[in-house]
Amino acid sequence: MNPLRMPFWGVDAAWLFYLLAALAMACLGLGLWEKISLWRQGRRAAPAPSSKQALGPALADVLLGRRIWRGGRIAGLMHLMLLWGFLGLFLGTCAVAVDHYLISFLHGRVYLWFSAGLEACGLLLVLGLMLALARRWLLPVARLERRPDDTLLPLWLLAVACGGFMVEAARLAATAPPWGAWSFVGYGLAGLFPGPEAARELFPWLWWSHALVSLGFIAWLPWSKLAHAIAAPASLYLQGQPLAVLAVAAEEGDLAALGLRHLLHLDACTRCGRCVEACPSARAGEPFSPRDVLHRARRQARLKYSPLYRLPWLRGRRQALLERDRAAGWEDAWYCTTCRACLEVCPVQAAPIEMVRKLRAGLVEQGSAVPPPLMDTLEKLHRYGNPWVAKKGAKAAWAAGRDIPDLSRSGQEADWLYFVGCTTSIDTRAQGIARALSDVFTHCGVSFGTLGKKEPCCGDIARRLGEQGLMEEQIEATRDLLNGRGLTRLVCTSPHCFDTIKKVHPLFLEEGLPLRVLHYSQMLHRLWRQGRLTFDHPMPLKVTFHDPCFLARHNRIVDEPRGLLGAIPGLELVEMAEHGLNALCCGGGGGRMWHEIPGQANLAVRRLEQAAATGAELVVTACPLCLIMLEDARKTGGFEDKFGIIDLSELVARALRLTAAMDEEAV
């Protein structure tokens, strides 16, 4: 006997099945059409770039769940079981359709292996679903929510998979084909039926129940969380590609126009909560959740741009929901420190750091819900070119008494432009970094100069605060100055200036001299490797290093500062519990340096608690904002007699015995 498939065995009224299937497919089609229409609008607002190089990593992320494994083995295993189980059954169903309607190939040995393969996929899916439910209900993982659809979705899919096995078991019990054991799960379950007659009688009931549950699932699929299966691969493919600069147009109040990439992020999010677990603001108990920001933005995007909500009978509901969201406001967007910890852990690269920027841009454009101190900072940036003092030309004060060429003047030349940055040149504590660094450069024989009091703001603060127009002005002013003076080699004190000049300036200005930008830790590390920076005096100290977010996570610079620390004889580096790419943010980024909002926690104190646990005598960092935040927290958090805070440049200058820049009494 030739083993083969028996479609519609024991079932009457196949026409009814086709009718229901057509309805389910129509719902599926409608859901997909809505999503694609939305994404197409985003594509018009900001087309996404494409690259072949991004394809390989994206496929590895999707098919092997690379990023999911990073967050835990059980999560990785569960996702692989669900993905491969579901994918296998989907492809199997397509093969059955081809066999039934186009080319018959499912017979003989092919059919037997096909049956065994489908059994394995079904089993994988069932085990994955059980694990998913256990992680929510039996051994709950704190970051996972228990919303109704978080339970309904796995239960429904479980009903589909188990229903399929029971239908198969009833058929095998009724017909007892000699090859039945190849369908090993159904074969095992066939014993549950008292006899062939009972199985034959039950079969149509089981078949129709399975058909209804399965078709219902197909209809629900694009409206459920499973829609991430389409958006997440696209989001992963687009991540890491150059960011398109998006024109900001506040629309209907809150959310600025979104590009394709943003819209894909919104649909890719699986609500896994890893971003919440990693977010320093959420962890500190501030009223902010990156996951919720993304989901409110998703709802707003749908309400505003979905073609379905333009239907006359949905307009009233749309308006009511928009009003509700507007009343809730977006003030929580100001809690974000833009530390990128969420993106580091997000398995689909959807985390809301970019969305927060868009939200802030919308709020600033309207002038609403912007904390007053931030308005003051923006005002200073507009009028005086820095966020600190109402005084133009304050930027050169730190260099008084030093013979540093001012490269903004004609006739002055140097190999490197030292871009000091607003905070380093104006804040009295951070000025120590500029002085120490200029001493170290001079000691190493580096030919460098600054732009003196003409140094413009690089645009980072305006960018982080959502002031797109001002940011563009500042970027243009900086680039004009650099081009006019033929300056192409820059070394920055602040990781924030470094990040903005390196990544954002080229997006806005296609023309101009090609820039080579370094953070000073990279420059000093290079000098040390070239033998131009040597440490001859032992420094018996136990130190820990606080990685600035814009150095580590945003630019992957973690080894250079540690290399320098390791080069100082006698210095012992002890790491904090969270360091490198996982370092906890001190709370100085994202404009938080300049404002306080209700419920705001002192994130720097939390960071220093981790530092205190290492027993280090000194906390070293490499960013003026981190330095100020940590220095403040040392005083307010009661760490004054435990350790000192110092910038890496100051430590290097001290190790070279160039300066006593370190706060002596703090050590």
Binders of ligand SF4 among residues 337 to 376 (CB under 6 A) are 337-342, 345-348, 350-353, 356
Taking the complex as a whole, how short is the minimal distance between the CB of residue 345 and ligand SF4, in angstroms? 6
574 within 8 A of 562, measured Cβ to Cβ: no
Distances (CA, A) of 512 to 455, 476, 509: 18, 10, 7
Burial profile 22-43: b = 16 or more Cβ within 10 angstroms, e = fewer:
eebeebbeebeebbeebbebbb
Of 106-114, 273-281, 521-529, 634-642, the segment contacting ligand SF4 by CB under 6 A is 273-281
Nearer to ligand SF4, 228 or 454 (CB): 228
* Strand 571-573 versus strand 541-545 pairing type: parallel
Taking the complex as a whole, how short is the minimal distance between the CB of residue 377 and ligand SF4, in angstroms? 19
Report the distance separating Cα 473 and Cα 558, nearest Å: 32
Nearer to ligand SF4, 298 or 654 (CB): 298
How far is C-alpha 358 from the chain's CA centre? 14
Q: Residue 502: how many CA atoms within 13 Å on its side-chain side? A: 17
DSSP of 234-250, one letter per residue? HHHHHTTSPPPPPPP-B
Binders of ligand SF4 among residues 524 to 563 (CB under 6 A) are none
Taking the complex as a whole, how short is the minimal distance between the CB of residue 127 and ligand SF4, in angstroms? 23
For 342-431, where are the E strands, in sequence order? 416-419
Question: Tokens 């609403």 — which residue?
Answer: 368
Taking the complex as a whole, how short is the minimal distance between the CB of residue 393 and ligand SF4, in angstroms? 34
Nearer to ligand SF4, 119 or 267 (CB): 267
Taking the complex as a whole, how short is the minimal distance between the CB of residue 352 and ligand SF4, in angstroms? 6
Taking the complex as a whole, how short is the minimal distance between the CB of residue 392 and ligand SF4, in angstroms? 32
Nearer to ligand SF4, 290 or 495 (CB): 290
Site string for ligand SF4, 294-333 (x = CB under 6 A): x---------------------------------------
Distances (CA, A) of 254 to 173, 224, 263, 337: 61, 26, 16, 20
Site string for ligand SF4, 195-224 (x = CB under 6 A): ------------------------------
Taking the complex as a whole, how short is the minimal distance between the CB of residue 248 and ligand SF4, in angstroms? 19
Taking the complex as a whole, how short is the minimal distance between the CB of residue 339 and ligand SF4, in angstroms? 4
Taking the complex as a whole, how short is the minimal distance between the CB of residue 247 and ligand SF4, in angstroms? 23
The one among 278, 417, 645, 653 contacting ligand SF4 by CB under 6 A: 278
Binders of ligand SF4 among residues 280 to 299 (CB under 6 A) are 280-281, 290-291, 294
Taking the complex as a whole, how short is the minimal distance between the CB of residue 376 and ligand SF4, in angstroms? 22
How far is C-alpha 17 from the chain's CA centre? 43
How far is C-alpha 191 from the chain's CA centre? 50
Nearer to ligand SF4, 259 or 591 (CB): 591
Which tokens in the block code for residue 605?
């104190």
Strands of the sheet containing 516-519, edge to edge, are 448-449, 416-419, 489-492, 516-519
Q: Which parts of 530-592 fold into alpha helices (H)?
A: 559-567
The one among 42, 273, 466, 548 contacting ligand SF4 by CB under 6 A: 273
Nearer to ligand SF4, 275 or 491 (CB): 275
- Count residues contacting ligand SF4 (CB under 6 A)? 30
The one among 275, 301, 436, 648 contacting ligand SF4 by CB under 6 A: 275
Which tokens in the block code for residue 584?
């906890």
Binders of ligand SF4 among residues 632 to 651 (CB under 6 A) are none
Taking the complex as a whole, how short is the minimal distance between the CB of residue 291 and ligand SF4, in angstroms? 4
| 406 DSSP assignment | B
Nearer to ligand SF4, 237 or 398 (CB): 237
Burial of 511 (0-12, 13-18, 19+ CB in 10 A): exposed
Query: Does 270 interact with ligand SF4 (rule: CB under 6 A)?
Result: yes
**DSSP three-state, residue 160:** helix
Query: Does 336 interact with ligand SF4 (rule: CB under 6 A)?
Result: yes
Nearer to ligand SF4, 360 or 435 (CB): 360
Nearer to ligand SF4, 12 or 596 (CB): 596
Taking the complex as a whole, how short is the minimal distance between the CB of residue 277 and ligand SF4, in angstroms? 8
Taking the complex as a whole, how short is the minimal distance between the CB of residue 635 and ligand SF4, in angstroms? 24
550 within 8 A of 573, measured Cβ to Cβ: no
Q: Which amino acid is at 209?
A: S
Taking the complex as a whole, how short is the minimal distance between the CB of residue 225 and ligand SF4, in angstroms? 10
Distances (CA, A) of 236 to 64, 73, 130, 241: 13, 20, 27, 10
Contact partners, residue 571, CB within 8 Å, separation at least 6: 539, 540, 541, 543, 565, 655
Taking the complex as a whole, how short is the minimal distance between the CB of residue 553 and ligand SF4, in angstroms? 9
Adjacent-strand bridge partners of 654: none
Query: Does 171 interact with ligand SF4 (rule: CB under 6 A)?
Result: no
644 within 8 A of 546, measured Cβ to Cβ: no
Of 52-60, 99-107, 268-276, 409-417, the segment contacting ligand SF4 by CB under 6 A is 268-276
If residue 518 lies in a helix (H) or strand (E), which one and from where to where? Answer: strand 516-519
How far is C-alpha 197 from the chain's CA centre? 57
Of 83-91, 306-314, 335-343, 487-495, the segment contacting ligand SF4 by CB under 6 A is 335-343
Of 242-250, 270-278, 425-433, 501-509, the segment contacting ligand SF4 by CB under 6 A is 270-278
The one among 161, 279, 457, 515 contacting ligand SF4 by CB under 6 A: 279
Q: Which amino acid is at 372?
A: P
Contact partners, residue 664, CB within 8 Å, separation at least 6: none
Taking only Cα atoms into account, the Rg of the chain, rounded to an integer number of angstroms, comes to 30
Site string for ligand SF4, 444-483 (x = CB under 6 A): ----------------------------------------
Report the distance separating Cα 129 and Cα 156, nearest Å: 10
Cα angle for residues 44, 251, 246 (degrees, 5° grid): 45
| 226 DSSP assignment | G
Taking the complex as a whole, how short is the minimal distance between the CB of residue 209 and ligand SF4, in angstroms? 33
Nearer to ligand SF4, 239 or 337 (CB): 337
Q: Residue 403: how many CA atoms within 13 Å on its side-chain side? A: 2
The one among 219, 221, 269, 627 contacting ligand SF4 by CB under 6 A: 269
Nearer to ligand SF4, 272 or 497 (CB): 272
Report the distance separating Cα 245 and Cα 258, nearest Å: 11
Nearer to ligand SF4, 68 or 126 (CB): 68
289 within 8 A of 269, measured Cβ to Cβ: no
Residues that bind ligand SF4 (CB under 6 A): 269-275, 278-281, 290-291, 294, 336-342, 345-348, 350-353, 356
